[in-house]
Amino acid sequence: MARIEGYDFPDDLWYHPPEHLWLHPERAGDEWLITVGVDAVGQDALGEVVYVQLMDAGRVVARGEAVGSLEAEKMVRPVLAPLSGTLSEVNGALMAAPRLLNLHPYDQGWIFRMRARDWEGEREELLHGEERVRAWISAELQAMKERR
Amino acid sequence: MSGPVRLLDLGAAPPLRSQALYHGLAEAMDADSPDTIAILRPASPYFCVGYHQSPRAELDLAWCRENGYPVIQRRIGGGTVYLDADQLFYQCVFHRSRAPFDVASIYRRFLTPPVRALQALGLPATLEAINEIEVGGRRIAGTGGGQIGEAVVVVGNLLLDFPADIMARAWRVPSPEFRRLAEDGLRRHLATLCGTLGQRPSEEQIRRRLVRAYEESLGRSLVPGRLTRLEEAAVRREERKLARLDEAGHGAGRRQARLKVTHRVWVHEWTGRVGEEPGRVTARVADGRIEEMSVAGAVLDREEAERHIGQVRDRAQLDG
């Protein structure tokens, strides 16, 4: 677990910098099942999440396509798919209690699971490994301070 | 980019256009588009529902239709609002690369200027709880925000005057007592420019103060401009989309027995049985304390009634 300026970044996860998403890949036969959530910096930047709305499982989505939306502090943001694939499960508990995303971003606050169409190919655009994640988050926090 | 911000000073706009404008600007935006601030007021009254709400759960839609009030569901956040020509809109549409990332900073950047404009008009305005503009603890403007396409959008409406009775009548509520407490809550906890200043300020004066405050706060000049042909087409597309109201919307299909009057003030209702008797407790809670409470049906003592309200309030806080 990397701890960067007070934010936790588990080592076993992959990260999608533009949207501050985390991804947890698991082999399921010859497929990759990916669990997706918002990372610690992302959830802190959002503020208190009060609504989470997601498409139904089974939907085929392209990378970058909106699979739902969330609202915090009267601000609506799309939830974008970090990979292409098929939504296999959405977190009903999170939709019922959106604060789980703030309270437990890396476990109970997961957002959706998807079967990746091309995990090996598309993961090139993700970050993994403490050194790379630490460099990204340090730069990101600095940029956020400058943009305030 | 630290160039000028485009100013769209539009005067009065029909209800659909007053909402479609920022949707269309945002949809058409890319990194080369000008950041834009629009100042306008709606030409006629309507209700506007937040993205994650259900219009039919929020509003008595039949009453709205009978009384000629259009209902529009926007794609940004916040609650259900009544909007009319006594409100001045400011709509900020900035490319996301030129806006802060975190929500608190976004609001601070785009809502500090309206606060300063109010201060310049002589009102002790402050920005509270991230996105509430208040005067003396009473809300004087609405706020909504969102990310649409590549744009960050923050919109607000300064209240020159506000008809609490119309807003309260339109809300879909579980009981007449609930409506009464909600309406009283609006009267007590909303401020208006006319009410606070004791006279109606000129709209031109407010516009000038707003423009100057945005220029000073952003450190960028606001230069009058107009929509491009592409933006005009995007706004028209959004007008067509917003005109088709999905009454179910995106929220829960029925109102839960709570209503937010301002970020400090909620109305809650508990219904249940006390022994064999049905009972109902309705309360307006301000800053965590019961401001007014009404008990109907089964006889409850005050302590028991407060306990029921405390339970529904705690559950509401857990659910968000």
Contact B110, B133 (CB under 8 A): no
Domain count, chain A: 1
A92 inside 8 A of chain B by CB: no
pLDDT score of B280 more than 80: yes
- pLDDT band for B300, please (50, 70, 90 cuts): confident
DSSP-derived letter for residue B158 is E
Percentage of chain B lying above the pLDDT 70 cut: 96
pLDDT of res. B274: 84
ipTM for this model? 0.94
Q: Which two tokens stand for residue B294?
A: 């009404």
Which CATH number characterizes residue A41's domain?
2.40.50.100
pLDDT score of B254 more than 60: no
Is A144 inside a domain boundary?
Answer: no
pLDDT of res. B159: 98
pLDDT score of B1 more than 60: no
Q: Is B174 helix (H, G, I), strand (E, B) or coil?
A: coil
Q: Which two tokens stand for residue B80?
A: 């259900």
Partners of residue A73 in chain B, C-beta under 8 Å: 77, 103-104, 107, 130-131, 145
DSSP-assigned states of every residue in B223-278: EE----HHHHHHHHHHHHHHHS--SS-SS-SS--SEEEEETTEEEEEEEEEETTEE
Q: Which two tokens stand for residue B84?
A: 């009319």
Roughly what angle, to the nearest 10 degrees, separates helices B15-27 and B229-243?
Answer: 120
B316 inside 8 A of chain A by CB: no
Q: Which residue in chain A is spatially nearest to B98 when comparing CA positions?
A: A147
Q: Beta strands of chain B (E only): which ranges?
A: 5-13, 36-42, 46-49, 71-73, 81-83, 87-95, 125-128, 132-135, 138-139, 141-148, 151-159, 222-224, 258-262, 265-274, 277-286, 289-297
- Higher pLDDT among residues B312 and B216, named by residue: B216
B195 inside 8 A of chain A by CB: no
Nearest to B100 among A47, A53, A148 (CB): A148
B-contacting residues in A 25-44 (Cβ below 8 Å)? 44
Q: What is the mean pLDDT of chain B?
A: 94
Fold of B5-243: BirA Bifunctional Protein; domain 2 (3.30.930)
Give the gyration radius of chain A's Cα atoms.
15
Pinpoint the alpha helices (H) of chain A.
Answer: 40-46, 92-96, 100-103, 119-122, 130-147
Is A41 inside a domain boundary?
Answer: yes
- Which of A7, A74, A100 to mutate to probe the B interface, most B CBs <10 Å? A74
Is A83 inside a domain boundary?
Answer: yes
pLDDT of res. B162: 98
pLDDT score of B7 more than 90: yes
B12-54 pLDDT per residue, tens? 999 999 999 999 999 999 999 999 999 999 999 999 999 999 9
Number of residues that make up chain A:
148
**B136-165 average pLDDT score:** 98
C-alpha distances (whole Å) from A12 to each of A22, A125, B290 are 10, 16, 48
For chain B, give every domain's residue range.
Answer: 5-243, 264-319
B77 inside 8 A of chain A by CB: yes
B51-64 pLDDT per residue, tens? 999 999 999 999 99
pLDDT of res. B255: 59
Q: Which two tokens stand for residue B199?
A: 């006279």
pLDDT of res. A81: 98
B107 inside 8 A of chain A by CB: yes
Is A55 inside a domain boundary?
Answer: yes
| Structural domain of A57 | 2-137
